[in-house]
Amino acid sequence: MKIIPIKRALLSVSNKEGLIEFAQGLTELGIDIISTGGTSLCLTAAHIPHQKVESITEFPEMLDGRVKTLHPRLHGGILGRRDQHAEEAQKHGIKWIDLVVVNFYPFAEVLKKESIAWDEVIEQIDVGGPTMVRAAAKNFNWVTVVTDQADYKNILSALQNQQGTDFAMRKKLAQKAFALTSQYDAMIHRYFVEHEQGESDKLTLEFSNQFELRYGENPHQKALAYQAANKTGLLSAKQHQGKPLSYNNLLDADAAWTCVREFSSPACVIVKHANPCGAAIADSIDAAYKKAYEADPVSAFGGIIALNRPCTGEIAQAITEIFMEVVLAPSYSDEALAILQAKPNLRVLEIAIEINESWEMKFITGGLLMQERDTQVLTLADLQVVTECKPHEEDLQAMLFAWQVLKHVKSNGILIAKESRTVGVGAGQVSRIDAVDLAIRKAGTHIQDAVLASDAFFPFRDSIDRLAETGVRAIIQPGGSMRDEEVIAACNQHGIAMVFTGKRCFKH
């Protein structure tokens, strides 16, 4: 547990942020510095005394820079146990290295380049850096390893106040170093798998930046959130105001944001308990919000609002007149932000509209499930009219809209829509006819001349019989039931048009 003094440091960093100030601090404390090529140039320009790695190894950088630190005089100086290997180290001219400061080639940044060649990517895989970091982290009993420039200040403070680093600090930094090497290798592995468009029997997930949430699904449950390595999505959103987010807030906000991104037209989606209770598209975002809210104002109470256009002052004023938990938008007008301040507890999130995820994951007991995201978008060409009664043109457009929203409704799911807005949603029911009954009740008088969408086939004609005389005049559903003919006959009997999609859109 003793404090280990630092007499000699090895600096080799790709990210030079804070390097000069840190190196100057080490020099003022009388610590000798060794450094590699690019880092050495930076130190030289700042007139900071140091030795180049080549003067220690007595070998130049070689093989286009692939080999520069892989040498016993460096790794022996890092890995040697001070209480066991001192004599052997002296015999081979190895001097101890007490501080290793390294960060890696920015592999993630390289992957963001468009049309980058495979060979160029491979050259950006750091070998010497991770090797030094792993060596220093393994020998944390004697060596301090620094992989994050955010730690420079604490290191200098420890050296100034106690002339070295204590065991707890070295162990914590070693843990951080192994987390970095693990993430780095996982990122490279993921690139190999994606490049070959193959599969792997190993899956490494990279998450960081732990957030402690207000609570979990219930106030007595503690909850944490971890951000994915790409640092996109809800946890990267800018929160302008409001209380900290809870577990449920994030789940509902994600459901709303995922749904509203379906549309290129101005759209608004209002979510309650992970299900859309109101969704609409219109010529303007103000009109879309009004239509979405009026779809089910009772259920919207305490919900989540997502907009795919900047939030206007008009929408902000409407939001302040009701109780909502969260509002999400790609941006806000100055007027909107000023108005929303009247609701200080309302969480106001600004988030970029970007869709990078091609897979989605769910944890189960003892495992993880993965599937491709449901990115299907139906067109008129995908619809097969199967009834004698043909749908009107406006019904076909309403069906396509309804299907896009229905993809985000928990199954069994039924959605009734009219004029590019939802009017009734029956979500998460254990039987299809129950979902139909709920959607009918929610739609009320708005059901006249509406269309109905079902996320899977109707197993019996009972749902169609229930719709008779309600005013629903067209149905969109996958088809594929052994009783399709009975269902079609029921539609013909009641004068309801029906189209098949050939696809279902379950969401569990």
The span from the CA of 70 to the CA of 76, in Å, is 10
3-state secondary structure of 281: strand
Residue type, 322: I
Q: First vs last Cα of the chain: how many Å apart?
A: 52
Virtual CA dihedral for 29, 31, 32, 38, nearest 10 degrees?
-80
The angle at the Cα of 275, spanning 270 to 281, to the nearest 5 degrees, equals 40
188, HSE (Cβ side, Cα atoms, 13 Å): 17
Q: Which of 454, 398, 396 is nearest to 425 (CA)?
A: 454
Q: Can you point out the beta strands (E) in 237-365?
A: 238-241, 267-272, 275-281, 304-307, 326-329, 347-350, 359-364
The span from the CA of 37 to the CA of 304, in Å, is 53
Indicate the burial class of 63 (C-beta count within 10 angstroms; 0-12, 13-18, 19 or more).
exposed
What is the number of residues in the chain?
508
3-state secondary structure of 361: strand
93, HSE (Cβ side, Cα atoms, 13 Å): 6
Please list the active-site residues.
Answer: 138, 273
Helix (H) or strand (E) holding 372: strand 367-372
The span from the CA of 496 to the CA of 487, in Å, is 11
The span from the CA of 286 to the CA of 307, in Å, is 10
Return the percent helix, strand and coil in the chain, to nearest 5. Answer: 40, 20, 40
The answer to whether 437 and 466 are in contact (CB under 8 A) is yes
Tally of CB atoms within 10 A around 26: 23
Tally of CB atoms within 10 A around 239: 14
The answer to whether 281 and 288 are in contact (CB under 8 A) is yes
Backbone φ and ψ for 322, nearest 5 degrees, come out as: -135, 170
CA 77, 80, 83, 86 dihedral sign is: negative
Q: Which of 469, 470, 434 is nearest to 454 (CA)?
A: 434
What DSSP string runs through 177-240? HHHHHHHHHHHHHHHHHHHTT---S-----EEEEEE-S-SSSTTS--EEEEETT--SGGGSEEE
3-state secondary structure of 65: coil
